[in-house]
Amino acid sequence: MSKLTILEYPDPRLRTVAKPVTRFDAQLQTLIDDMAETMYAARGIGLAATQVDQHLRLLVLDVSESRDALQVFINPELLDRSGTLQQEEGCLSVPEIYAEVKRAETVTVRAQDASGEHLEQQLDGLAAICLQHEMDHLQGRLFVDYLSPIKRDMLKKKLARQRRQPAESVSA
């Protein structure tokens, strides 16, 4: 396994729309393993392939306290969403910036696993937020896009100033 480089905002490659995964082979498994290692090393709770400059519809999550419950979603599609939740989010591609974003509280997702098997799962709370955040990455969208231009500009300046300070909250 190897740790991958995480692209950082405002890198234009983060705006790439990911393509569906069509080959469920050893190369895909290596990418999944590397993404998991990269996410754990960065102490994130989620990572989308877009963030490591691999433009495939693939994301990994682990919202467990014990950091041993990796979930892999390939070609994810939301079948249903309900409720609203507004919580502070962070992102490994936007270090040191946290902002409240409104998301669905519960989502039903259909996706494939590493072997191409279809799965359907209902997620809520933090897992649901994280999934929606990562699925946004696959569309080239970042959580800061939900903020007003003024707030986004302030955050950009803060980002430039604080780039070197260590993260304390969870990021995805």
Active site residues: 134
Do residues 130 and 69 make contact, with C-beta atoms less than 8 angstroms apart? Answer: no
Task: Decide whether 51 or 112 has the Cβ nearer to Ni ion.
Answer: 51
Burial 64-88 (b: 16+ CB within 10 A, else e): eeeeeeebbbbbbebeeeeeebeee
Task: Decide whether 23 or 102 has the Cβ nearer to Ni ion.
Answer: 102
Residue 123 binding Ni ion, by CB under 5 A: no
- 148: tokens are 């007003």
Task: Decide whether 21 or 94 has the Cβ nearer to Ni ion.
Answer: 94
Residue 129 binding Ni ion, by CB under 5 A: no
Question: How do 58-61 and 46-48 pair as beta strands?
Answer: antiparallel
Residue 155 binding Ni ion, by CB under 5 A: no
Quick note: the x/- pattern for Ni ion over 40-79, rule CB under 5 A, is ----------------------------------------
Stated length of the chain:
172
**Least distance CB 172 / Ni ion (angstroms):** 5
Query: To 10 degrees, the CA torsion angle through 167, 161, 136, 109?
Result: 10
Backbone phi, psi, residue 167, to 5°: -75, 145
Query: With CB under 5 A as the contact rule, which of the stretches 32-40, 97-105, 117-125, 164-172 interacts with Ni ion?
Result: 164-172
How many residues touch Ni ion under the rule CB under 5 A: the total is 2
**Interacting positions 76-115 with Ni ion (CB under 5 A):** 91
